[in-house]
């Protein structure tokens, strides 16, 4: 149906209309989330994030995963349970657009709270969301972050610097 509509619009000369995909397809299309998509596949979370949602994903980009020591990243990618815990800590049920962020806590799908603030930019657990890098998907929104959030720790200290 989308293809027919798109072809009809192109025939009419209307070509600046974009159709959003689900969270996973949107992350793939962006190109900044290759490691995240690989991790989602390894954890078996792709089908969930392709589901109805809505979801808010505080999505670590490839640079965020590159900050982790390689041996830690390799171990995480091999441990499905730990990987699932880390990834679901980045996901909130419901859609929170950048404009809707309020100071306070939201519960991650993993079960622990994420702290949101709006001082000096929008932040989750002290990590600033990349301005203008939000991706609206059919089933939610992706907010780019440049640090992997680690539950129960200061993400900046644990994942912020590569040794």
CATH of the domain at 121: 2.30.180.10
Does residue 52 fall inside a structural domain? yes
Strands 55-60 and 140-145: parallel
Does residue 4 fall inside a structural domain? no
Does residue 74 fall inside a structural domain? yes
Residue 87: its pLDDT value, please? 96
Q: Which two tokens stand for residue 61?
A: 């980009």
Does residue 3 fall inside a structural domain? no
Number of domains comprising the chain = 1
Residue by residue, pLDDT tens for the chain (163 residues) are 444 333 343 444 433 334 459 999 999 999 999 999 999 999 999 999 999 989 999 999 999 999 999 999 999 999 999 999 999 999 999 999 999 999 999 999 999 999 999 988 999 999 999 988 899 999 999 999 999 998 754 444 334 443 3
Residue 119: its pLDDT value, please? 87
Helix 80-88 / helix 70-78 crossing angle, nearest 10 deg: 100
Residue 9: its pLDDT value, please? 38
Quote the domain boundaries for residue 25: 20-159
Residue 127: its pLDDT value, please? 95
Q: How many CA atoms lie within 13 A of 67 on its CB side?
A: 18
DSSP string, 12-65: TT---------HHHHHHHHSS-HHHHHHHHHHT-HHHHTSS--EEEEEE-HHHH
Does residue 9 fall inside a structural domain? no
Rounded-to-integer distance, Cα 111 and Cα 89, Å:
7
Tell me the CA distances in angstroms from 32 to 17, 121, 133, one per residue in order: 22, 21, 10
Look up the pTM and report it: 0.81
Does residue 6 fall inside a structural domain? no
Tell me the CA distances in angstroms from 56 to 72, 96, 101, 118, one per residue in order: 26, 6, 11, 17
């Amino acid at each position: 149906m989308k293809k027919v509509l798109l072809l009809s619009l192109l025939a009419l000369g209307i070509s600046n209309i974009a159709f959003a995909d689900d969270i996973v397809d949107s992350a793939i299309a962006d190109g900044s989330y290759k490691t995240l998509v690989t991790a989602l596949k390894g954890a078996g979370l792709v089908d969930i994030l392709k589901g109805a949602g809505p979801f808010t994903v505080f999505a670590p980009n490839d640079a965020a995963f590159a900050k982790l020591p390689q041996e830690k990243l390799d171990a995480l990618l091999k441990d499905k349970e730990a990987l699932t815990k880390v990834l679901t800590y980045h996901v909130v049920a419901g859609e929170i657009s950048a404009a809707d962020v309020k100071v306070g806590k939201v519960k991650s799908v993993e079960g622990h709270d994420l702290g949101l603030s709006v001082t000096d930019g929008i932040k989750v657990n002290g990590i600033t969301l990349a301005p203008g890098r939000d991706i609206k998907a059919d089933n939610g929104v992706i907010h780019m972050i440049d640090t992997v959030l680690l539950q129960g720790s200061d993400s900046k200290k644990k994942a912020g610097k590569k040794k």
